[in-house]
Amino acid sequence: MNPRRKKRLTIVSSILLGIAAVAGLTLYALSQNIDLFYTPTEIVQGKTDTGIKPVIGQRIRIGGLVVPGSVKRDSESLKVSFQLVDKGPMVTVNFDGILPDLFREGQGIVANGTLVGADVLEASEVLAKHDENYMPKEIAEAVGENHQKLDYNDKQLSN
């Protein structure tokens, strides 16, 4: 191999190695910022298809219905604690901030935050549905018939 070809091969190899390193570091950085969506049942029992459960300290997004009678507010601060359910186990969500105007018991919500216990989420953001007919597809599928039961209980509480 002549010296000119050897030099070109070294340069091309170095460039490809550099591109691979940059791509790898970019993918690693992006994976740290992904919020994966879970339902309360999936947090406790794992995903149905893979069995994967979120680990403590992982940033996740959870969606479900606020359990009637579970909202507890701190009188001294903006801290609020409530439970979410879909069709199985409940998960406790702790939030320090102002809740959306549409937040209420029996309401479908989505919360972003960090898992701090096996069934406890420290939320950094809470989002409520925007009208009475809308529910995110993932939550509607997960909740299924339980949604009707909670609506029925909610009507009984208001009467």
pLDDT digits (tens, 9 = 90+) for 6-24: 999 999 999 999 999 999 9
Strands (E), 5-119: 36-38, 59-66, 72-73, 79-85, 91-96, 108-117
Residue 120 has pLDDT above 90, yes or no: yes
| Contact predicate 66/111, CB 8 Å | no
* pLDDT greater at residue 112 or residue 32: 112
Q: For the chain, which residues make up each domain, given as ranges?
A: 1-33, 36-158
pLDDT tens digits, one per residue of 65-119: 899 999 999 889 999 999 999 888 899 999 999 988 888 888 889 999 999 988 8
State the amino acid at position 68 in one-letter form: P
Task: Report CA torsion sign: 17, 18, 19, 20.
Answer: positive
Q: Is 30 exposed, middle or buried (0-12, 13-18, 19+ CB in 10 A)?
A: exposed
- Model confidence pTM above 0.75: no
Domain spanning 36-158: CATH 3.40.50.300: no
